[in-house]
Chains A and B, each alone.
Chain A
Amino acid sequence: MIKTVELTKAFRTDEVETTALNKVDISVEPGEFVAVMGPSGCGKSTLLNVIGLLDNPTDGQYYFNGNEVSRYSERKRTYLRKGNIGFVFQSFNLIDELNVYENIELPLLYLKVSSSERKRRVTEAMDRMNISHRRKHFPQQLSGGQQQRVAIARAVVARPNLILADEPTGNLDSANGEEVMNLLVELNNDNTTIIMVTHSPSDADKAHRIVHLFDGHVVTENIRLTL
């Protein structure tokens, strides 16, 4: 599903160049749950941004579903992202002015899904994330755990094959964090591929494989479970 070959990402200013990713080779098979770990500043989020087609690499190749996409324009990347990739962020990234229902519905509006189908899918996603009773609430009226459940519902409503999660439990207490991890495991059991950046060894324990990054390089991989 995903393959990178010597993937490199450098950030340049007038004075300095910082190499966030340095010749990173990773492969992710459909249905895998992969955790990416490493200390702050090692390139975890940059890797997730490139894999999520939010950013292009500076060098190297990136194959997404067999297509080399590393030089795609922003427009082509946006097109490819829609419906294929769902994002879950540490800070939830919900839109404050939209209620729960509207936040979850948003990706379907971009995909021009019909009104009746949107209603069906949003209801299904809310039920699955056990958030239906808060459908009219706005993000600031929800707890952190509820906001993350809405964010996951928004990420899955377009039925993507790939979910990218950046520290999904980072802003949650342990009970809500565990609930969110259980939801991700459940999605993975339904064959959704998941790549998750985390600092938490116990969250990483839920993954099939742990990729350890350090200083922009893949240092080692631990295979924990086989598919």
Chain B
Amino acid sequence: MNELCVPVSGITENDVAEVTVSIKGKKIKYEFRIESFPWETEETLTETKDPLAISLGKIYRLKLAIESYDKNWELIQIFNPTEGSDHVHVLYRKKQ
């Protein structure tokens, strides 16, 4: 077994979940953080109405957000925005 699913209720953006795993007495500490980056926001990305340019603008903004993120944390997973959400959730893990 190499994965554990830990349900954590009430975690919100920028909260840090600290998970300590103990295997045969050896403790390993993990820290996870869920971030939230804008996706379908009203914020004007470009003056054009071209859907392709708008799509590229959204991706560019997301890339910038990820690239400029705290380098002590590594990106683990990007999640699809939920229905009606205007943000993308991204899971980070603190580098060991």
Contacts and interface: CB of A to CB of B under 8 A. Distances in A.
Interface of A: 19, 22, 37-42, 174-175, 177-178, 200-202, 212, 214-215, 217, 219-220, 222
A175 B3 CA distance: 11
B76 A39 contact: no
A174 B1 contact: yes
B68 to A, nearest CB: 11
Interface of B: 1-3, 55-56, 58-59, 62-63, 66-67, 74-80, 88
A142 B89 CA distance: 39
Contacts of B58: 215
A37 B75 CA distance: 11
Contacts of A201: 3, 76-77
Given A39-B80, A215-B55, A220 B1 contact: no
A214 B78 contact: yes
Which of B3, B78, B88 is packed against the most chain A CB atoms within 10 Å?
B78
Contact of A38 (B63, B74, B78): B78
21 contacts: A19-B55, A39-B78, A40-B80, A41-B80, A42-B78, A177-B2, A178-B1, A178-B2, A200-B3, A201-B3, A201-B77, A212-B75, A214-B59, A214-B62, A215-B55, A215-B58, A215-B59, A217-B59, A219-B62, A220-B66, A220-B67
A202 B63 CA distance: 23
Given A174-B1, A174-B2, A202-B3, A219 B76 contact: no
A39 B2 CA distance: 21
Given A22-B59, A219-B62, 17 more contacts: A22-B56, A37-B78, A38-B78, A39-B77, A39-B78, A40-B80, A174-B2, A202-B2, A202-B3, A214-B62, A214-B88, A219-B59, A219-B78, A220-B63, A220-B66, A220-B67, A222-B75
